[in-house]
Structure 1
Amino acid sequence: MMEAALWSSCPPTHQLYHDDPYATTATATVLSVSGHFAVFDRSLFYAESGGQVADQGTINGARVVDVQKAGGRPFQLPNGEVATVESVFCHEFAEPCTLTVGESVTMEIDWERRFRNMQMHTLAHFLFHATGEYLEANGQTRSTRGCHISDSSARFDFGCSIPSEAVPVIQERVVALLASSPEAVVTALPDTHDVFVWRSGDIVIPCGGTHVNHPKEIQGTVTVRRRTKGRNGTRLYIELDRDATG
């Protein structure tokens, strides 16, 4: 169990993946250790947030199975939502942690998992945008109740009813965006090092996740699926068959 004593006296973790999401190794210094958990001054690992699952990998050869945020302060995004910034990253190990405070360590992420997460997070942005276009064209307002992004699929829960006939329309639009959108540009919002604005063409989305630089790095067949979610709610999934072409 992760206790407050582990992280409460630690400064915010510097998030190295914002400097370079394609970096696979880095060094850091141990700030705190307790049981299966450790905190470092900086981290290459993405901590679970914004719907995106955490990175996994190794630190000094020991397996990291999860990374969670603790503490932080609220930060209002341009779209009115509130994110938590300046958090401490708590790394969970598969076995009790044997690191010592002040020790320098080598971090190595599971790159295949990270890259797949980056692909799916980028696809999630295209799904979000394409769904918004469809809803606006049909006199509805886009609102979300949650999302989840892993290396195999992504989903959004929308607070409105989206009919089944919308699915092929949205899927076709996602595929078109994937084929035509330019390289993404990511810029930091003022007064924070945790939240950025992701831009690809006319699509602009506040986000602190990891993404591929260019849509051309997403190869395979895209599928959008739908299911109802509660009263007047719809869950849309987007999946990528990386072994297929199309």
Structure 2
Amino acid sequence: MVLAVSEAGIELDRTIFYANSGGQPGDTGMIGATPIIDTRKGPEDTILHIPAPGAPLPAVGDRVALTLDWERRHRHMRMHTTLHLLCALLPGIYATGNQIGAEKSRLDFDLPDPPAKEDLTKRLNALIAAAHPTGTRWISGEELDANPSLVRTLSVQPPRGAGRIRLVRIGPEDAPIDLQPCGGTHVANTAEIGRAEISKIENKGKQNRRLHIILTGEKP
């Protein structure tokens, strides 16, 4: 149901759209007859759906059907899971930034001497092909403080305002390939990703290295 309509966007009582956060873009799609070109976080944990300029708008109180641009969302899910696998291939190395896109993504690491991109690509696709399941669970802020190594990023810290923190796991519960706090969207199994490729490694500072990732659509 539509709760509010303003210049800032459309607010609903619930949504399937992901709001731009953690380097992952906001979802696009349709709310009824209204094209949605972005989804963002608003004040007080609200989610704002941004309509296309000049599009017809629903009225407050309307019950509306939501249609997600699934192909775009699924590419973001595949990309996001791929970035987690890259973290798994570089244990003990912190990510310093990231940007997820449907066509290409990047992940920055505090890494003075990165492996060759061909070696990383080979090892990455071996993890993808192994068809590792993914899952989530919740922990408290106190549990995270007791296990600081779970946090793999220097640029973004897990949100703590909700009283619990979501962990994303790749691999079995008793021996995960990767386990870290994350609020983004991911595939259910790494085999969904398809073949990934490290297309370029850039020097972005004394120790900062930027890895560029693309998905080829082929089997790993």
TM-score with structure 2 setting the length: 0.79
Aligned-partner Cα distance in 2 for 1:88–1:31? 11
Aligned-partner Cα distance in 2 for 1:114–1:42? 18
Aligned-partner Cα distance in 2 for 1:221–1:116? 12
Relative to structure 2, which stretch is displaced further, 52-61 or 31-40? Answer: 31-40
Structure 1 unaligned blocks of 5 or more: 1-28, 73-86, 137-141
Relative to structure 2, which stretch is displaced further, 43-52 or 175-184? Answer: 175-184
- How do 1:50-89 residues align onto structure 2 when only pairs under 5 Å count? 50-72=22-44, 87-89=45-47
Does structure 1 conserve the Cα–Cα contact (< 8 Å) formed by 2:130 and 2:191?
no
- How do 1:24-173 residues align onto structure 2 when only pairs under 5 Å count? 29-35=1-7, 37-72=9-44, 87-96=45-54, 98-130=57-89, 132-133=90-91, 136=92, 142-163=93-114, 165-173=115-123
State the 1:35 CA deviation: 3.0
Deviations 1:33-57 (A, max 9, x none): 1136211111111111011111100
Aligned-partner Cα distance in 2 for 1:188–1:152? 31
1:231 counterpart residue number: 206
Work out whether 1:197 is the aligned partner of 2:138. no
Aligned-partner Cα distance in 2 for 1:162–1:60? 51
State the 1:111 CA deviation: 0.8
State the 1:232 CA deviation: 2.4
Structure 2 unaligned blocks of 5 or more: 142-161
Aligned-partner Cα distance in 1 for 2:4–2:24? 25
Aligned-partner Cα distance in 1 for 2:4–2:164? 22
2:72 corresponds to which letter in structure 1? R
Aligned-partner Cα distance in 1 for 2:168–2:219? 27
2:147 counterpart residue number: none
Share of identical aligned residues, percent?
Answer: 32
Deviations 1:102-135 (A, max 9, x none): 22111110011111111111111111221x23xx
TM-score with structure 1 setting the length: 0.71
Distance 1:144 1:117, change over 3 A: same
Relative to structure 2, which stretch is displaced further, 210-219 or 44-53? Answer: 210-219
Does structure 2 conserve the Cα–Cα contact (< 8 Å) formed by 1:161 and 1:233?
yes
1:106 corresponds to which letter in structure 2? A
1:185 counterpart residue number: 135
Equivalent residues, number: 194
Deviations 1:189-242 (A, max 9, x none): 348498521112221121111111011112235335200113321101221111
Aligned-partner Cα distance in 2 for 1:59–1:194? 30
Deviations 1:7-29 (A, max 9, x none): xxxxxxxxxxxxxxxxxxxxxx1
Deviations 1:55-74 (A, max 9, x none): 100001211001111234xx
Query: Which of the residues 174, 181, 200 maps onto 1:206?
Result: 181
Aligned-partner Cα distance in 1 for 2:163–2:25? 20
Does structure 2 conserve the Cα–Cα contact (< 8 Å) formed by 1:221 and 1:245?
no
2:154 counterpart residue number: none
